[in-house]
Structure 1
Amino acid sequence: MNTQPVPDTDRPVIGSYPTYEGAQRAVDFLSDEKFPVERTAIIGSDLRMVETVLGRLTKGRAALAGAGSGAWFGLLIGLLLTLFTANHSDVPPLLAGGIVIGAVFGAVFGFIAHALTGGRRDFASRSQIVAARYDVVADPEVAEEAKNMLIKLSWRET
């Protein structure tokens, strides 16, 4: 159960920006000016999911990605094993062995996992949620003061 309060989205808009970075810069400016920023919020409107296709995913690339993930996991296991060794000369072989064994198993599992998809989704991608605009809102008691402060920011940037 979510126990956090739902933000009040009916607060006055003190600034509207086409990018999240712009809205973030406005709140940062208010913070620099000692404004009580805990009384503000950034609200994204007209959300959409954008999936950027990074490239074709072949069995070889899937195996390579699996090898990379497996190598990191193998390194972690090798580091954990070094905690239980009394001889410092055993550390490099444990780390190297963990990396190699992890990479081999990762490559095999990556290859098999991709082969089992049967040709569906033969591409790699990255997804993100973006908004058409970002509104900075403030509590009604301080909204006018915040708006006036942001006017100073817009003069500075022009």
Structure 2
Amino acid sequence: MHDGREVANYILDYADDNGIPMTNLGLQKITYFCHVWFLISANKPLIKQNFEAWEFGPVLPYLYRFFNKFSDQKITTRATKLDRNTGSEVIARINMDKTEESLLESIVSFYSKLSVSQLVEQSHVSGGPWHEVWHHEAKVNPGMQISNQAILNFHTSKEMLYTLQ
């Protein structure tokens, strides 16, 4: 499993290389869909941390805070993390095998072509993981976390044919 900052930076690099302006909201959604596809296709989580259900969809709070300064503008920096060996801040880079990287590139390529409103619409699907957590009937739902099991249950029970073409 990877740190969400590593995945986010991969997406940002892809977007820059392909002339796609990436906002915080778009980045959150594409990061989420990368995680979803890894759960479905590779049968393992891509990201260590859980997503939370926020008003505009699934969010990794620490990513939101890091890129919030860009608001709805193009992100021009990369997420950093502490290097445990040196104690200094370094750009978070993902290290994965060729099979995982190929899958990640396919997912990012597909979803980066969608508008932010399309991404939000797809993440808000009725009965989906975000919807079930956001519209929880209990008075308290601490952290509003979207579990990997909820993601798998929804996407595998719908018998949907998924394609990234």
Is the TM-score greater than 0.5?
no
Indicate the structure (1 or 2) with the bigger Cα radius of gyration: 1
* TM-score computed with the length of structure 2 as normaliser: 0.28
Where relative contact order (Cα < 8 A, 6+ residues apart) is larger, the structure is 1
* TM-score computed with the length of structure 1 as normaliser: 0.28
